[in-house]
Amino acid sequence: MSVISFPQEFNEDELYVDLRSIFGQSLFLKCEGFNFAGSIKLKAAAQMVEAAERDGQLRPGSVLVESSSGNLGVALSIIAASKGYGFLCVTDSRCNLSTRRMMEALGSQVHIVTEPDAHGGLLGARINYVRAVCASDRRYVWLNQYVNPNNWKAHYRTTAPAIATAFPRLDVLFVGAGTTGTLMGCARFFRQWRRPVRVVAVDAVGSVTFGGAPGRRMIPGLGTSVRPAMLDESYVDEVVRVEEADTIRACHRLARSGFLFGGSTGTVVSGATSWLAQHDAHELVAVAIAPDLGERYLDTVYQTNWLEDLYGEDVLSPGELTA
């Protein structure tokens, strides 16, 4: 029996789904959404808040402010509510409505940026707003997930060791790239491990993270319009880029087998299965990290009208639709 006093104290870290029966390939999916925040972002949020408290940045009366496409915002909303801090999440129009409502239900404020920055896109506009807020009032504390080393350290200390313990003969690890906190933490850990592990980053087409051409991205989570400051490509063995249509197909394929995952997970699974199909992977031990669950995507990724309006009527065949 588990008894907790604060929501961030609970996180299921040992659940994996064997995807062989769904995709016909040997791939274990590490499920990171079984906590009160519903995503892997709870780990980074907790680590960054605790470090800010130790350093004296966060004090009674402080107000957290952060730019987030959704999942980190929910995680910080939960922690802020449990610790008595205010929280302002700066997001943009791609953030799911259910995510915004969840943050507000937890007592947080949500500011939605609608106009992209000329050079940094919507992400750049969000960061500009955060900087302006912090300059206007000293109570605001920006953890800055994009450069904060505690972002990647959270996964160096927890996510990667958990995978290493569960799969001591791991050959390849697939990690989605957003801020690259999860990617960098895991890649740094396995670079120092006792046996070689190939780390494959999964990015969205339209993201500039690894030098790709900027383009439209409607599914929040992975990908950026500004290159992440903490990214060190020397730790990454390969990069797989995934079209959003393929993200959607992977999500619906999982859902038809009873697993409702989020858009970030669909991207990672699509990239991983594509990579495995192109390599002689029968003898490889492969793990992919699933950052989130799917309930917050019911009005987008799992909504027929939304899909057809953005991607056309043929994005999914009738047999692929789950709704």
pLDDT tens per residue, range 50-104? 999 999 999 999 999 999 988 999 999 999 999 999 999 999 888 888 899 999 9
The C-alpha atoms of residue 123 and residue 186 are separated, in whole angstroms, by 24
30 and 117 inside one domain: no
Residue 52: give the domain boundaries.
41-142
Percentage of the chain beyond pLDDT 70 is 98
4 beta partners: none
Res 254: pLDDT: 97
Name the nearest CA neighbour of 98 among 257, 245, 263, 244.
Answer: 263
126 and 216 inside one domain: no
209 within domain boundaries: yes
Query: What proportions of the chain, in percent to the nearest 5, are helix, strand and coil?
Result: 40, 15, 45
pLDDT exceeds cutoff 70 at 318: no
136 and 154 inside one domain: no
319 within domain boundaries: no
pLDDT exceeds cutoff 90 at 115: no
- pLDDT band at residue 224 under the 50/70/90 scheme: confident
The C-alpha atoms of residue 89 and residue 68 are separated, in whole angstroms, by 7
pLDDT exceeds cutoff 80 at 173: yes
The C-alpha atoms of residue 218 and residue 90 are separated, in whole angstroms, by 17
CATH of the domain at 165: 3.40.50.1100
pLDDT in tens, 292-302: 999 999 999 99
Q: Say which DSSP state 283 is in.
A: T
87 within domain boundaries: yes
260 and 125 inside one domain: no
Name the nearest CA neighbour of 69 among 123, 2, 121, 10.
Answer: 123
Helices 97-105 and 71-83 cross at an angle (nearest 10°) of 10
How many structural domains is the chain composed of?
A: 2
Q: Taking residues 211-238, report their average pLDDT.
A: 89
Average model confidence (pLDDT) for the chain? 93
Res 282: pLDDT: 77
170 and 202 inside one domain: yes
DSSP-derived pairing of the beta strands 238-242 and 286-290: unpaired
15 and 161 inside one domain: yes
The C-alpha atoms of residue 62 and residue 293 are separated, in whole angstroms, by 30
28 and 46 inside one domain: no
